Amino acid sequence: MATIPLSIAKYVRSMWKAEMIMTYLHIDKHGNLVNWGGDPQHYGLDKLTMGKAATEHLGFLEGLLEFPHTQVLQFVNVGGGRSAHIHVVPLDNSTYVLMFDATAEHDRLQKMQQQFNELSILSYRQSQLLQELEKAYQQLAEEKRQIEHFFATLLHELRIPLHLITNGTKLLDETQLAETHKANYLESVKNNANYLLSLINNAHDQAKLKVGKGELQPSACDVKQLLANLKLLFFPTTQEKGLIFETNVQASIPTWLMIDELRFRQVLINLVYNALKFTEQGFVRVTLSWQTDRLEFAVADSSPGISPETQQKIFTACHHDSTAHTFSGADLGLAISHHLVSLMEGELTIESSLGKGSIFKGFIQAPLILPTNPKKTIELMIE
């Protein structure tokens, strides 16, 4: 094999990183392979042949060998699940193609993008719940002093995680931060967003249960998209616990149904959160189906299960159980879900046996909305 020219070696050193695996190909003016070096097998180039057209080995070089200046192609998929930075460097009436492994860098960028997407979903949900909480606070301001004091105290408690979220998001925008620091800030923001979401949701619904309110606001809802967003919301938790999170939607389920999307989302979030909380290994599965204006749902898990005695009072607010599932005064998810399902003219039940997991299943009224004009259909139904 020929020795790589000094100018090319200097160029390689300027681009070198410890994690990169470099390979070079020397191509003559006719586009044929002269020689190569490095580790071409790392990129799946284990059948290189001298004198053969370089484009037969690397199709993406088609048309690039004619340019008189250096070209850089980033994150090129070279097969085998690998990515590479490709540098096409013209020199002395020939061309050198330099390949630097970028797989690790590509995977890190994808992971960061995924984390930002999860944070965006959590932030949106947080914003919606904060708006609803403020509205509820204004409505209850003239009622009992105890309820007024409850909300005032709650708003005070929300300031701490909200401040941490705002501060963490600001720090993430500072590009000079080291990558490890950014990852730490992102993790902090995510944890605080999850805490804030849980705090607002539980406290808000607890207040509504106490005062007996809960008006429905039906609208056109794409339940398939709702379930897809639900899976993204719980992605970090399922990954952390190593659980399988499955969502199954009946193939024939209509695209648009008339339901209170916010309330139904709350029911599913509470049921899934409860399942994840008590499932240490195995799976959590959410299933949706529809027939004759009725949306049926089920949340199954592989938890330790619930005793028959506990099942009889599991939908009671502030219930305590010392055997399998244990609830605190702030953890009203099941009671809230039961209440909301009743508001939507449905039913929520449980099937469980100790050691065999649990299934919370039920239905709500969900009239079909005609696909031609969902808005007009809603107006006619309300009239």
Query: Which helix (H) or strand (E) element contains residue 267?
Result: helix 261-278
pTM for this prediction: 0.48
Nearest alpha carbon to residue 11 among 105, 83, 97: 97
Q: What is the pLDDT of residue 299?
A: 97
Rounded average pLDDT per 10-residue block, the chain, 383 residues: 74 61 85 86 82 83 80 82 86 87 83 87 86 80 59 54 62 60 62 67 61 70 87 70 91 91 84 88 96 95 90 70 42 75 94 92 93 54 50
Query: Which helix (H) or strand (E) element contains residue 98?
Result: strand 94-101
d(CA 48, CA 176): 42
Q: What is the pLDDT of residue 16?
A: 59
Sign of CA dihedral 188, 190, 193, 198: negative
Sign of CA dihedral 257, 259, 265, 271: negative
Sheet holding 347-352, edge to edge: 244-249, 283-291, 294-301, 358-365, 347-352
d(CA 334, CA 316): 8
